Amino acid sequence: MDVTNNLSQINHTMKQACERSNRERTDVNIIAVTKYVSINRTLEAIEAGVTHIGENRLEGALEKWEACQNQAAFHFIGTLQSKKVKHVIDKYDYFHSLDRLSLAKEMQKRCPEGKKIKCFVQVNVSGEDSKEGLSEEELIDFVVSLKNYPAIEVVGLMTMAPFVEDPENTRPFFQRLRYLRDEVRDKNMSHAPCEHLSMGMSNDYSIAVEEGATFVRIGTQLVGNRE
Ligand SMILES: *Cc1c(COP(=O)(O)O)cnc(C)c1O
């Protein structure tokens, strides 16, 4: 496992995906998902040039933040239980799985004075029962309601595509999320600039980039999934 080598391969693949879709490579950010790996591997990723770290569970999230704070931006990418909000709210920079008002309420309550909490609203574009997130039908009303929580800033939408053998089959889900992002963004709500798209993982990130991802979340292909 050589993180530097993995990163340069991923950068190469992303550059090609950007060229195919007429995008600027600098418009896409890589989040290294370190949930399966150690602090040392996380530090290695930062050393290799990674500037965004993603964790999905409280324990790992705190441990990685303690060890690497100030060296990267931190993304909480998993479902966050309301009772755990207080432990990460002042440490993490982005929250990718806002999917209920009760969570927004708790974030508002725990938000440090003057801070804006950058959130992605998670959408279940595939409609699979196993997936978290709002349905497409619920999305707009939900985002509108978030204006009652002034600490929250909706920076974008996030989704997890279904796992499929051929990554090409994820394309319609990414296209759908982009369409929804445009719809929210074009409402010009001051609490919801909604410019970003958090989509694409190890198996499907090049398709996600072609379809407009601005944050891809890559674990296995970048830092591995065990040590
Ligand atoms: C684990 C995880 C990823 C990364 O998955 P890989 O397939 O290892 O790249 C991305 N997003 C979320 C929300 C995750 O939980």
Which residue do the tokens 């239980």 mark? 81
How many other C-beta atoms lie within 10 A of the C-beta of residue 102?
A: 9
Q: What is the pLDDT of residue 1?
A: 81
Long-range contacts, 191-194 (Cβ 8 Å, 24+) = 191/146, 191/147, 191/150, 191/152, 191/153, 191/154, 192/143, 192/146, 192/147, 192/153, 192/154, 193/153, 193/154, 193/155, 194/143, 194/154, 194/155, 194/156, 194/157
163 C-alpha to center of ligand 1: Å? 11
Q: What is the pLDDT of residue 163?
A: 86
User: Counting every residue, how long is the chain?
Assistant: 227
Enclosing domain of residue 148: 3-223
143 C-alpha to center of ligand 1: Å? 24
99 C-alpha to center of ligand 1: Å? 18
**CATH at 139:** 3.20.20.10
Q: What is the pLDDT of residue 226?
A: 84
As for how many domains the chain has, the answer is 1
115 C-alpha to center of ligand 1: Å? 27
**What is the atom index within ligand 1 of the atom nearest the CA of 96?**
13
Nearest-CA residue for ligand 1 atom 7 is 202
Question: What percent of the chain is modeled with pLDDT above 90?
Answer: 93
Which residue do the tokens 């595509």 mark? 161
Any residues with Cβ below 6 Å from ligand 1, and which? 33, 35, 56, 77-78, 160, 201-202, 217-220, 225
Q: What is the pLDDT of residue 130?
A: 83
Question: Which class for 47: exposed (0-12), middle (13-18), buried (19 or more C-beta within 10 A)?
Answer: exposed
Q: What is the pLDDT of residue 148?
A: 97
217 C-alpha to center of ligand 1: Å? 6
Q: What does the mean pLDDT of the chain come to?
A: 96
Q: What is the pLDDT of residue 19?
A: 98
- 172: alpha, beta or left, given left = phi > 0 and alpha = psi -120 to 50? alpha
d(CA 157, CA 137): 14
Residues of the chain with pLDDT under 70: none
